[in-house]
Amino acid sequence: MDLRLLRYFIAVFEEQNITRAAQRCHVSQPSISSAIKQLEEMLDVSLFKRSKQGVGITDEAHHLYPRAKRLLDQAHTIEDLFKGDDEEQHITIGVFPDLSPRRLAEVLKKMRLQLPNLTPKLVDVNAECDLRMTVDVLRNQGETWVPLWEEDYILCMRPDHELATREFVLPEELHQFDFIECPPCEAHQQTIGLLACSDLRMNIVASGEHKSQVMHLVQAGYGISFLPDGVLETAHDLVTVPLRAPRMFRRVGFTYSSDKSRAEVLSSVVKLFMQ
């Protein structure tokens, strides 16, 4: 049986009007009438009683309607089995604050181009999510790590600071300079510890929980600090000076729980960035 006939029948049954049924199905009234006539001849029954007020529904139409609806629903289900690659998919990504805006945009652009049917939702890194974009030291136990990029820590200050014109700075030359600390930061603790080994220290005059807060304090003139180069992408009013010391950097990547590793959407994202 032609499913189109059933679709037109359902439209007439529900609208109880040939004109509205034709508009709903985006066809002409003669097409609807012809289809109903063809269906009636095929089943050898009368489905509708036509009048100037519209159409009346026969007992046979009431009997056919639920079965026609069920057949069309089953047909749509079969079609959907083979539309998986074209359907819109959703993923929630928890994003750590103060990541490189440029690199973050590049990651999202790659997802848009390579996974066009994927709709991302960005939330706070601590919110419920499928995938987290964060730094490696904050990866939870048992999570899988997919590296994305690295950010170097750079000594930064205002242009009017006395170190701003230096070609480079040695760690011991930071002794007694006003310093803005980010307590969770390993790079800051590494530098403070390095100076302490030589009985040197910096004056901790302020602190921030996030890197952008530390940057604002540097911009306000409270002192100097080390910040990832990604955070400093928008800080055009600050000066950076190389520090002659072992490299300090942080790794940024995706993390996800192992029990989610088989999820189809998550798997497609992970595979994209592990290539």
Q: How many domains does the chain have?
A: 3
* 109 contact partners, CB below 8 Å, separation of at least 6: none
Same domain, 123 and 165: no
* pLDDT of 272 higher than 60: yes
pTM, rounded to two decimals: 0.64
pLDDT tens digit sequence for 113-129: 999 888 999 999 999 88
CA–CA distance from 176 to each of 154, 192, 223, 230, 273 (Å)? 19, 11, 11, 27, 44
pLDDT tens digit sequence for 66-93: 888 888 777 766 665 555 555 668 899 9
Same domain, 169 and 220: yes
Do 103 and 148 contact (CB within 8 A), yes or no?
A: yes
Residue 212 lies in domain: 151-251
The pLDDT value recorded for residue 195 is 72
pLDDT tens digit sequence for 155-175: 999 999 999 999 999 988 888
Token match 């590049």: residue?
Answer: 106
The pLDDT value recorded for residue 141 is 82
Task: State the Cα–Cα distance between residues 151 and 128, nearest whole angstrom.
Answer: 26
Where is pLDDT greater, at 83 or 212? 212
pLDDT confidence bin for 185, thresholds 50/70/90? confident
Question: What CATH code is carried by the domain that includes residue 29?
Answer: 1.10.10.10
Residue where a domain terminates, one of 80, 102, 127 = 80
